[in-house]
Structure 1
């Protein structure tokens, strides 16, 4: 199973914001849409960072309420791990586990194309295991 198949099922929509937006705006978007991360893009749609709930907790612990007025560029993770549509679910799991993060932007032709979350990966793996179990049951029943 590939990232392309997951995106075909879940869709390609990604919540983004610019690096000059205030942290308060990032928090508002995260809360409103009930998501855990936003991809930070420039005006050409290129990925320049990612900001997650963890990033917000860290900067708030350090700066307190003043963090709300900080620009996203000062709080985001600038070195973003990315994947492409050809990555497999197993490869995505390895990348997320090694990096200890739950969101992985998908890039195509140098631009943001989608996002995969750990929830997407788990859902797909469960579907695969259930399908395989049903195929084994059917095989045993016909033997």
Structure 2
């Protein structure tokens, strides 16, 4: 199974923010869409970074409420690990585990094609395991 299969089910919609958005504004967006990270897009729409709930919590722990006045550009991760639609779920799991993060932007032809989360990966792995079990039951019943 590949990233493309996950995106085919969940869609390619992404929630973005700009580097100049305040952390308070980003928090409102995260809450509104019930998501854990936003992709930070540059003026040309290209991927500039990613900002997660964890980044915000760390900033609040270090700077208190003042962190909410910071900008997304100040707190975002700039060295973003990405995947392509052709990457396997095993590759995604390895990257998420190695980097200890839960969201990966998907890049196709140099452009943002979506974002997948650990929840998306788990959902698809469960569906795959259930399908394999059903196929095995059918095979055994027909033997």
Q: Specify the TM-score bucket, using the shorter chain as the normaliser.
A: over 0.9
Q: Deviations over 1:94-127 (max 9, x none)?
A: 1101110000000112121100100100000000
Task: Please state if 1:16 is matched with 2:49.
Answer: no
Equivalents in 1 of 2:23, 2:39: separation in Å? 13
TM-superposed CA distance for 1:82, in Å, is 0.2
Q: TM-score, normalised by structure 2?
A: 0.97
Task: Please state if 1:133 is matched with 2:136.
Answer: no
Equivalents in 1 of 2:125, 2:28: separation in Å? 31
The equivalent residue for 1:90 is 90
TM-superposed CA distance for 1:43, in Å, is 2.0
Q: How does 1:18-97 map to 2 (within 5 A)?
A: 18-97=18-97
Equivalents in 2 of 1:112, 1:44: separation in Å? 12
TM-superposed CA distance for 1:81, in Å, is 0.3
The equivalent residue for 1:117 is 117
| Shift >6 Å, 4+ stretches | none
Q: TM-score, normalised by structure 1?
A: 0.97
Gaps of 5+ in 2: none
Equivalents in 1 of 2:37, 2:97: separation in Å? 17
What is the alpha-carbon root mean square deviation over aligned residues? 0.7
Q: Deviations over 1:16-39 (max 9, x none)?
A: 000111111111101111110000
Q: Deviations over 1:49-73 (max 9, x none)?
A: 1000100011111111111111111
Gaps of 5+ in 1: none
How many residue pairs match? The answer is 143
